[in-house]
């Protein structure tokens, strides 16, 4: 395929006519496909069906002898914290295991920071100058929604393929109003990239003007591999401690995409001081988490090898869906030089960068043909992608055949939008 830029106006018009015809035929199929959110498919949830019968009527005593049915143990059961210690990269005493949704923990940490301040700071964040948080882009829309909802200014930072551009980050944190950075360090949502050791080292060691600066380390895809090639992610808690900034990172993770998305466990790991701080705030909010679910997870997953074995079953189900998107994109788009897409080694997303200025149009064309995509701009703070370029493709939920159809349709819309933009230029 020749690059689009090499085509004569006549060749472009001819290409457009062919694509328009295909597009009209696509619309005629009356498709109804949804590629918007990174949800596990029902078959993935079925993998944990056996867990629902656990821990069983007579199995409610935790390792420390307490009754898991009763109130208490805000930090979570020792055995559950031990189970997830290797995932979080912290000792069990520096871990909190809570109810489902790590997003809820992120929310609470932000709100506690705003209302009460964090260790190292002398005032609540809300009582300081208007504060800001660095947002690597493309990024996770719900992080942005949290900041926007609580009036925290967002500063976009470009991703490089090895994490955020650290030159930009290091400059930005010289401003004491900058209180933190969102990070999805492994198989990032949506680019799929994993932070390099150098990125982690610089994040840990950089001089932040705010003494209460926090790295919000959302390691949502810590065990979600799609390949045998597994990038290793440096331990941010150790790196920060070694650099003399032990209270800087707060690590989040969950079993939402390991066991059951709506009934998993969320967890947080950090320095001893941050854990004390968190528990002091959370103690007003609740007497303790659902420890039966914690026992259920321990009985089902057992240990790190059990988690890894379970994740292989997920990979077997969703790997072919990622492959189908890659195949469809390559078949339609390769050579034209109008789009780039990620080939993630793990996680839940593919990033599709379309021709500048056409992402909104691609989403509209797809919608008209019955394919719902995440809105253009969702990967950027305030929903504004200045280049109107980046789309997030979420292939896990629909059936394989539907993913294939949707990806072919998105590729067609991508090329059509690029050709029409070129003809209009
Ligand atoms: N963080 C990231 C980066 C995610 O992609 C998601 C889910 N899409 C979440 C957090 C939400 O996690 P949870 O279900 O634990 O709230």
Question: In the predicted model, is pLDDT for residue 218 greater than 80?
Answer: yes
Distance 77 CA to ligand 1 centre (A): 23
- The pair of three-digit structure tokens given for residue 229, joined into one six-digit string: 């090639």
Q: In what order do the strands lie in the sheet with 340-341?
A: 340-341, 350-353, 390-393
Which of 40, 104, 140 should be mutated for ligand 1, with most atoms under 8 A from CB? 140
Whether 218 is in the pocket of ligand 1, judged by its Cβ within 6 Å, is yes
Q: How confident is the model at residue 2 (pLDDT cuts 50, 70, 90)?
A: confident
Helix (H, G, I), strand (E, B) or coil at 340: strand
Residue 37: what pLDDT? 83
Helices 102-116 and 141-149, packing angle to 10 deg: 30
Whether 152 is in the pocket of ligand 1, judged by its Cβ within 6 Å, is no
- Which residue's structure tokens are 């992608």? 385
Q: What ipTM describes this predicted complex?
A: 0.99
Whether 396 is in the pocket of ligand 1, judged by its Cβ within 6 Å, is no
Q: End-to-end CA distance of the chain: give it in Å, rounded.
A: 21
- According to DSSP, the residues that pair with 251 across neighbouring strands are 217, 269
Cα 391 to chain center, whole Å?
Answer: 14
Tell me if 418 sits within 8 A of 4, measured CB to CB.
Answer: yes
> Which residue has its alpha carbon closest to ligand 1 atom 14?
101
Residue 256: what pLDDT? 98
pLDDT digits (tens, 9 = 90+) for 95-110: 999 999 999 999 999 9
- Count, in order, helices (H) and strands (E) of the chain: 13, 12
Tell me if 190 sits within 8 A of 159, measured CB to CB.
Answer: no
Tell me if 381 sits within 8 A of 335, measured CB to CB.
Answer: no
Question: In the predicted model, is pLDDT for residue 1 greater than 80?
Answer: no
Residue 356: what pLDDT? 97
For the chain, percent of residues with pLDDT exceeding 90: 97
The candidate with the shortest Cα–Cα distance to 120, out of 52, 213, 190, is 213
Mean pLDDT value across residues 14-19: 96
The candidate with the shortest Cα–Cα distance to 341, out of 145, 213, 192, is 192
Q: Ligand 1, residue 254: give the atom nearest the CA.
A: 15
Question: Whole-angstrom Cα distance, residue 415 to residue 408?
Answer: 11
Burial of 29 (0-12, 13-18, 19+ CB in 10 A): exposed
Distance 102 CA to ligand 1 centre (A): 7
The candidate with the shortest Cα–Cα distance to 50, out of 420, 271, 315, 313, is 313
Distance 22 CA to ligand 1 centre (A): 37
Whether 417 is in the pocket of ligand 1, judged by its Cβ within 6 Å, is no
Mean pLDDT value across residues 337-356: 97
Question: Whole-angstrom Cα distance, residue 118 to residue 179?
Answer: 10
Whether 184 is in the pocket of ligand 1, judged by its Cβ within 6 Å, is yes
Distance 220 CA to ligand 1 centre (A): 6
Question: In the predicted model, is pLDDT for residue 292 greater than 80?
Answer: yes
Angle at 307 between CA 242 and CA 84, to 5 degrees: 40
Residue 57: what pLDDT? 86
Residue 29: what pLDDT? 94
Question: Whole-angstrom Cα distance, residue 290 to residue 81?
Answer: 14
Mean pLDDT value across residues 135-161: 97
Q: Are strands 153-158 and 178-183 parallel, antiparallel or unpaired?
A: unpaired
Question: In the predicted model, is pLDDT for residue 234 greater than 80?
Answer: yes
Question: Whole-angstrom Cα distance, residue 254 to residue 249?
Answer: 17
Q: How confident is the model at residue 276 (pLDDT cuts 50, 70, 90)?
A: very high
Residue 129: what pLDDT? 85
Q: How confident is the model at residue 329 (pLDDT cuts 50, 70, 90)?
A: very high
- According to DSSP, the residues that pair with 390 across neighbouring strands are 353
DSSP-derived secondary structure letter, 375: P
**Run of H or E residues at 411:** helix 400-424
Question: Whole-angstrom Cα distance, residue 126 to residue 117?
Answer: 8
CA distances from 93 to 218, 230, 270 (A): 19, 28, 10
Helix (H, G, I), strand (E, B) or coil at 241: helix
Question: Whole-angstrom Cα distance, residue 276 to residue 246?
Answer: 14
Tell me if 247 sits within 8 A of 120, measured CB to CB.
Answer: yes
Whether 390 is in the pocket of ligand 1, judged by its Cβ within 6 Å, is no
Question: In the predicted model, is pLDDT for residue 67 greater than 80?
Answer: yes
Question: Whole-angstrom Cα distance, residue 236 to residue 249?
Answer: 7
Q: Ligand 1, residue 348: give the atom nearest the CA.
A: 5
pLDDT digits (tens, 9 = 90+) for 369-408: 999 999 999 999 999 999 999 999 999 999 999 999 999 9
Tell me if 158 sits within 8 A of 126, measured CB to CB.
Answer: no
Mean pLDDT value across residues 60-89: 97
- The pair of three-digit structure tokens given for residue 223, joined into one six-digit string: 């065990």
Distance 15 CA to ligand 1 centre (A): 41
Distance 122 CA to ligand 1 centre (A): 31
pLDDT digits (tens, 9 = 90+) for 158-187: 999 999 999 999 999 999 999 999 999 999
Distance 231 CA to ligand 1 centre (A): 20
pLDDT averaged over the chain? 97
Mean pLDDT value across residues 40-59: 95
């Amino acid at each position: 395929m020749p690059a689009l830029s090499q085509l004569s106006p006549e060749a472009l018009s001819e290409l457009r006519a062919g694509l328009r015809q295909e597009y009209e035929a696509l619309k005629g199929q009356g498709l109804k496909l949804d590629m918007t959110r990174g949800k596990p498919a029902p078959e993935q949830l079925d993998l944990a069906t056996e867990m629902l019968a656990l821990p069983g009527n007579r199995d409610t005593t935790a390792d420390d002898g307490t009754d898991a049915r009763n109130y208490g143990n805000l930090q979570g059961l020792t055995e559950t914290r031990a189970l997830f210690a290797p995932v979080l990269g912290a000792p069990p005493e520096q871990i909190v295991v809570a109810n489902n949704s790590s997003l809820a923990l992120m929310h609470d940490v932000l709100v506690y920071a705003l209302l009460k301040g964090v260790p190292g700071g002398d005032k609540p964040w809300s009582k300081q100058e208007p504060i800001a948080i660095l947002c690597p882009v493309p990024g996770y829309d719900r992080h942005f929604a949290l900041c926007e909802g609580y009036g925290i200014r967002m500063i976009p930072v470009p991703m490089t393929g090895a994490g955020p551009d650290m030159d930009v980050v290091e400059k930005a944190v010289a401003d004491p109003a900058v209180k933190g950075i969102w990070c999805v360090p492994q198989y990032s949502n949506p680019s799929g990239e994993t932070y390099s050791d150098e990125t982690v080292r610089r994040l840990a060691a950089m001089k932040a003007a705010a003494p209460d600066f926090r790295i919000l380390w959302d390691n949502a895809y810590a065990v979600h591999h799609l390949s045998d090639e597994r990038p290793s992610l440096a331990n941010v808690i150790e790196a920060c401690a070694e650099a003399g900034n032990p209270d800087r990172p707060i690590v989040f993770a969950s079993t939402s995409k390991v066991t059951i998305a709506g009934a998993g466990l969320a967890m947080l790991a950090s320095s001893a001081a941050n854990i004390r701080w968190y528990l002091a705030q959370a103690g007003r909010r609740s007497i303790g988490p659902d420890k039966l679910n914690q026992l259920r997870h321990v009985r089902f997953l057992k240990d790190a090898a059990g988690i890894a074995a379970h994740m292989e079953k997920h990979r077997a189900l969703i790997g072919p869906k990622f492959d189908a998107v890659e195949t469809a994109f390559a078949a339609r788009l390769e050579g034209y030089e109008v789009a780039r897409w990620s080939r993630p080694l793990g996680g839940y997303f593919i990033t599709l960068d379309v021709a500048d200025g056409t992402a909104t149009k691609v989403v509209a064309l797809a919608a008209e043909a019955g394919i719902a995509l995440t809105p253009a701009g969702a990967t950027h703070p305030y929903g504004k992608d200045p280049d109107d370029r980046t789309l997030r493709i979420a292939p896990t939920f629909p059936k394989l055949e539907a993913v294939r159809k949707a990806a072919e349709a998105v590729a067609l819309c991508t090329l059509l939008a690029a050709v029409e933009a070129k003809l209009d230029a």
